[in-house]
Structures are given as C-alpha cells and as structure tokens.
Amino acid sequence: MSGLPLAGGRVSPYRAVLASRVRAQRSYRTGFALDLFGSLLIGVTEFAEVWVIFHNVEVLGGLDFHAILVLFGLSNLAFSLADLLVGHLDTLPTYVRAGTLDAFYLRPQPLLAQLVTSEVDLRRISRIGVAGTALVSGLVLEDVSYGPRELTLLAIAIVFGTAIFAGLFVCAASLQFFLINGSELTNSFTYGGSYAAQQPTAIFPRPLKLLFGYLIPVAFTAYLPTLALLGLPGPAGLPAWLAWLTPVAAGWVWLVGMLLWRWGTRHYQVGGG
C-alpha cells in the first residue's frame, strides 16, 4: 500500500477514482457514443419544447425569444454542470438497498466526498454543449454591450447557479435515507427545480414565485441573471438586482443540504453492524 494514496496527499485517492471512471466510460466506445447521443437528444428536446411555445407566441412572461435563449442557456448550463459533477448522488437508494453503502463507511474519507467523486458522468457533456450554444446565441442576438459588469454577472450566474443545483442534489440525496421507495419525491425539486428554472419566474402564481424565488431559489440560477444582464425590471418581489446575491442563495441551499445530510447519515443504520 505504501506509495499509493497517502503519499499523494489528501486529494489523490479521489483523483485516482475519478480517472478510473473516465477511463471506464471511454473504453466502451459504442455505448459511450450512444449515451452522448441520448444526452444530446435530451438537451435538444428540452429546447424544442420552448421553441414550440414560441412558435405560437412572441413573448412569454415579459421575455422575447432571444431573452429566453439566454434564460434557457443559463439554467441548463448550470443544471447539466451540476448533474455532471454530483448527479449520480441520485443512485444513493440503490446503494442503501443493496447494502453497498456500508463499504464507503469503512474508508477514511468523508462519505459525501467519496460519493461525489465516485463517478463523473461524461455523457452529460453533450447537454452542456446544447446549453452553451443556446446561451451564446442568445447573448449575441440580444446585442448587449459586454463590459466587466456583464462578464462578472455571467460568471457569478454560472458558478453559483451550478452550486445551487448541486446543493439541491445533496438535499435530495439526504432525503433518500428516509424515502428509499419514495425517491421520486425528490425529483420534484431537482428535476422540477431545473424545469422551473428555465421558465421566466414572472409567469408563476404568487405561491410558486415565492417557492422558486426564495425557498428553492432556482430563480437565481438563470431568471434573475438574465434580467440583470439584459437590463429588464423584475416582477413584484423579485427585483433584477437580486442577481448579485446568487452566492447567498447558493449558500442557503448548501446550508440546508449539509444539515439534511447530517440528519440523513445519522438516521442511516448500517446493516448487520
């Protein structure tokens, strides 16, 4: 064992696992190509849904099609980046049911860090591509003048938007400890959150506006940054300047996530131990 993980410091075990996962995915070329195609198709279809709506209307929730491209691009970019990094936390119930989670407890690293680095799902890359394309097209078509302010806003939105979705995946995984057969429930705020994030929050009735604006703050991932970037006013209760507070929203999601995670792991009883 000497010379292996410990010598390389704290991060090298994680790096070794991740590198092996990347190699594993690349070695089944046909399967990987199909997965990439499937993921591309998911991205394209999500976009087609938006496009079909705009085939029928000019404006939705105060945004025109070019603005919707920015909104769609930002929300999907953040979500698919988070999905790439931590989306596999969704498989936690499988580990719990099969008892294989116990093996993770035996290793001298934090459980969450191990689970996060246990996989990196490279097929999401094509969805990231679709989102990036939509974002860039929207930004070019909207004719915004790009200064330091705009670039900072974009960077904040992408980095902390990803953090918000990643935090939601952690919240979802924590609840899985209690809901082994009810894992679909947590889809309502991971996938549901992503679906809500790509809509102009202004279209929602008041309770949903508060839900997606503050409690599960997905409006911060794309809608508010889009408003701030394009210089549009927000609806009542969600002014555009809130876009600068996206890091705070991410902090809130992670605070809840970490509390739920502690609660969940304490609830979990190792089988046969």
Partner 1 sequence: MGTYLKLFRAGFSRQANYRLAMVAGLATNVVFGFIRAAILFAALDSAGGSLGGYTKGSISAYVWLSQGLLGAIDLSGRAEIGERIRTGDVAIDFTRPVDLQTWHLSEDMGRAAYTFIPRGLPSVLIGALTFGLSMPTTVLPYVLGFISIAIGIAIAFYCRFAVNALGFWLLDTRGARTVYMVTSTFLAGLYVPVSLFPGWLQTVALATPFPSMLQVPINVISGKDTGTDALLLVLMQLCWLAVTCAAGQLLTRAGRHKLVVQGG
Alpha-carbon distance 259 to 241, whole Å? 29
Under the criterion CB under 8 A, does residue 185 sit at the interface with partner 1?
yes
Alpha-carbon distance 137 to 67, whole Å? 10
Q: Which of 8, 31, 231, 233 binds partner 1 (CB under 8 A)?
A: 31
Q: Which of 182, 231, 237, 239 binds partner 1 (CB under 8 A)?
A: 182
Question: Nearer Cβ to partner 1, position 117 or 201?
Answer: 201
Cβ neighbours, 10 Å, residue 112: 19
Binding mask of the shown chain, residues 62 to 101, with x at each position contacting partner 1 by CB under 8 A: ----------------------------------------
**Residues 6 or more apart from 253 whose CB is under 8 A from it?**
163, 164, 167, 168, 171, 216, 217
In sign, the C-alpha dihedral spanning 97, 103, 109, 114 is negative
| Burial environment of residue 80 by CB neighbours within 10 A (0 to 12, 13 to 18, 19 or more) | buried
Residue 173 C-beta: closest distance to partner 1, Å: 15
Binding mask of the shown chain, residues 135 to 174, with x at each position contacting partner 1 by CB under 8 A: ----------------------------------------
CA-wise closest residue to 71 among 118, 138, 167, 5:
138
Under the criterion CB under 8 A, does residue 204 sit at the interface with partner 1?
yes
Using CB under 8 A as the criterion, which residues of the chain lie in contact with partner 1 when the complex forms? 31, 34-35, 37-39, 41-42, 45, 48-49, 52-53, 55-61, 179, 181-185, 187-189, 192, 195-196, 199-200, 203-205, 208
